[in-house]
Amino acid sequence: MFREKTVGEIVADDIRTANVFKKYGLDFCCGGGASVQSACDDSGVDVSEVLADLEAITSQSDVVDNYKNMPLIDLVDHIYNTHHTYIYENGPMTAEFINKVAHVHGSRHPETVEIAKLYNELLHDLHQHMMKEEQILFPFVKQLVEHGNQGGAFVNGPISVMEAEHDTAGEILKKMNELTNGYEPPADACNTYRAAYANLKALEDDIHYHIHLENNILFPKSLELEKQLLDS
């Protein structure tokens, strides 16, 4: 049932499965185009264990938010209200924490200096990225839904840019995850150190869901809508 489906398709159908892929370190956002079998092969993960967990979680009768069937305008608003707002509200505080940790503990834990550098780069890139989405991509998608393609431009242009920027963010997150040993603070970590790592982990989780909703649902649905409009 799941073996040859792509990771992104599975999470798009049931958001709960994202927890399974995170458990095994399988990328469901930027790498969501790989099949479960291929993703497991590439990561050295036992596919039978992943498949068993997917079967178990999808057999539960919990009520699940179905973003795949959400109207495009509602999905755009959800991404802004949930994920953009999260970065705006939590990004600067996390920067304050990790920069303080690098300053105070950098001599004994030099990896924190690199982490702070990577995080500040990521936060800057995210703000630029979200501004493009809010000023260009999201209005374009809403125009497609409400008025069709009237300007002669095509949505695949901004989508291609956003996907490339998602890949860049994903690489930075991967590096930070490795440098922090999965955001596990050292034994001598102070409260600020622990708070910084906890915030980084929460931010990574949020960005992964953000990228998933766009790469695996918003972008394909927008491209399909535009194609239907052009063919009609």
| Model confidence pLDDT, tens digit, residues 66-97 | 788 899 999 999 999 999 999 999 999 999 99
**Mean pLDDT for the chain?**
89
The secondary structure element, H or E, covering residue 178 is helix 156-179
Tokens of 231: 């063919």
Q: pLDDT by residue (tens digit) across 22-56?
A: 888 888 877 778 888 988 898 899 999 989 988 88
Q: What is the pLDDT of residue 120?
A: 97
Residue 228 has pLDDT above 90, yes or no: no
pLDDT for residue 115 is more than 90: yes
Q: Residue ranges per domain, the chain?
A: 7-58, 67-231
Per-residue model confidence as pLDDT tens digits over 177-216: 999 999 999 999 999 999 999 999 999 999 999 999 999 8
Q: For the residues 145-153, what does the mean pLDDT come to?
A: 74
The count of other CB atoms within 10 Å of the CB of residue 173 is 22
- Rounded to two decimals, the pTM is 0.79
What's 27-88 look like in SS3?
Answer: CCCCCCCCEHHHHHHHHCCCHHHHHHHHHHHHCCCCCCCCHHHCCHHHHHHHHHHHHHHHHH
User: HSE-up of 151 (CA within 13 Å, CB side)?
Assistant: 9
Q: How many helices (H) and strands (E) does the chain have?
A: 11, 0
pLDDT of residue 223: 92
In this predicted structure, the answer to whether residue 64 has a pLDDT above a threshold of 60 is: no
Task: Measure the CA–CA gap between 161 and 184, rounded to whole angstroms.
Answer: 33
Q: What are phi and psi of 6, to 5 degrees?
A: -75, 155
Beta-carbon count within 10 A of 146 CB: 9
Taking the CB of residue 180, how many other CB atoms lie within 10 A of it?
20
Between CA 68 and CA 17 the distance in angstroms is 14
Question: For residue 61, what pLDDT is reported?
Answer: 61
